[in-house]
Amino acid sequence: MQIDIVHVPDCPHLGAVRTRLDQALARAGVAASIREVEVDTVEDAQRTGTRGSPTILIDGRDPFAVERAEASLSCRLYRTGDGVAGAPTVAQLIGVLTP
C-alpha cells in the first residue's frame, strides 16, 4: 500500500495526520510506504489531486473525497464524530486502511 500525505509548506495539521496515520497502521496491522508530497502552487494541487492540506491519498485515491471539491492550497477539514478537524481520527483512518 502506498500512502501519500500531500500538504502545503508549514501545514498546521501535518503532525496530527502523521501521528494518527502511524497509530492507525499499527493498530490495523497494515504495512504501507508513506511519502510526503509538498505542494505550493494551484497547478501542483491540481496535478496531485489535493483538495486542501493535508490530503491523504491511498494508492492514489482520496478516501475522504468530498463531491465537487476543487483543488486547493487551503487547510482541509475532515468531518469526524465530534465535528470538523484538521485530520481524520485514528478510527476513520483504520476504516479506510482495512477492507
Residue-wise pLDDT tens digits, 12-61: 999 999 999 999 999 999 999 999 999 999 999 999 989 999 999 999 99
pLDDT, mean of residues 65-71: 84
Task: Give φ, ψ of 35 to 5 degrees.
Answer: -130, 135
- Local confidence band at 74 (pLDDT 50, 70, 90 cut-offs): very high
- Local confidence band at 70 (pLDDT 50, 70, 90 cut-offs): confident
Q: Sketch out the chain's domains with CATH numbers.
A: 2-97 (3.40.30)
pTM for this entry: 0.92
Task: Give φ, ψ of 95 to 5 degrees.
Answer: -60, -35
